[in-house]
Amino acid sequence: MEFLTEFGLFVAKAVTLVVALIVVISVILSAAQKDKGEESGDGELRVRKLNDKYRRLRESLEARLLSEQDRKAWAKKHKKDEKAKAKADKGKRKAGAEPADPKKRVFVLDFDGDIKASDTDPLRRAITAVLSIAKPGQDEVVIRLESGGGLVHSYGLAATQLDRIRSKGIHLTACVDKVAASGGYMMACVADRIVASPFAILGSIGVVAQLPNFHRLLKKNDVDFEVLTAGEHKRTLTVFGENTDKGRQKFLEDLEDTHVLFKEYVSERRPELDIAAVANGDIWFGRRALDVNLIDQIQTSDEYLIEACEHADVISVTFQRKRTLPEKLGLATSAALEHTVWRVLSAFRNQKIQ
């Protein structure tokens, strides 16, 4: 037991030294990279053809259902066909041949929203890339959207990014598998068509704000808290100060005005919607949402994209920010610490069991 104790202390010292060195190196590298901007490559655009993904899934299953002899024959033929196709495509490119009837392209974007709509920046970059090559009236953009909403200004910007697609005359489809509520629905309503799964949550066209107030607690303990402002409405409600009916009324007026803007935004993009009936903050599941025209079709995103693969090139486009070296070192350090702690605890636990 004494040996294990000494070993644990040695490991703790070693880990402390390594962490200290990594922190120093990270600070130096972070300072060196501080002024590097977008031109230095702070992320990368990832493009993947979903037709190939679904085809490989199908072929994999087909091959597994064959006997071993048939599988070998199938693999040989498949390899031969792939080579012939690649050779033909290379010949066409070399000759500069243009297809008489270019195939439709469906560009697939993803947005997974938190309260701050943090995915807006990658979405903005992906949209910029797609709009540089997408052809109005021919190509389509599909946004796979998941969000329960969040900050008004953050989701307002995210929805405006999607507006860029429609303003270019490119058909936009929103696919919702789980939830597009509040700010999430603000984004979804921009689309020409909204497709949702049967139990996806939609709606929540409303505005909410809440904050605690500790004024009575401070007063009970003889603690004064003063809020000094210049401007009648600079501060309406406060967490620590005493809230007034006048400030509360102004705050409610601001909430109502935000709600009106939200309703107007949705109405402009879905004019067939009875906004008075659905803009009460309530939510609807997929099938019920179809009944009140919040969506246009019941279908999962997988079904929609697999069908699209039959008549179009379906291409997933995502922008992923590259991690800096300090961030990578931080992740590596965290993993190493977790592994070390687990090993030490395991050693002590085994000793105790013995």
d(CA 4, CA 344): 9
Torsion of Cα atoms, 231 then 236 then 240 then 242, to 10° = 100
d(CA 149, CA 219): 36
**Element (DSSP H or E) covering residue 163:** helix 152-167
d(CA 168, CA 106): 15
Q: Quick one: tokens of 72?
A: 């070998």
175 within 8 A of 143, measured Cβ to Cβ: yes
Which residues, listed in sequence order, are joined to residue 171 by a DSSP beta bridge? 140
Extended beta strands in 197-311, E state: 201-203, 283-285, 297-298
Catalytic residues: 182, 234
Question: Nearest to residue 155, comparing CAs of 116, 200, 98?
Answer: 116
Question: Nearest to residue 190, comparing CAs of 168, 206, 173?
Answer: 173
d(CA 173, CA 131): 15
DSSP annotation of 271 reads T
How many other CB atoms are there within 10 angstroms of residue 185's CB atom? 33
DSSP annotation of 138 reads T
108 within 8 A of 130, measured Cβ to Cβ: no
Burial class from Cβ neighbours inside 10 Å (0-12, 13-18, 19+) for residue 11 reads: middle
How many other CB atoms are there within 10 angstroms of residue 107's CB atom? 25
CA distances from 303 to 110, 141, 174, 288 (A): 16, 16, 13, 20
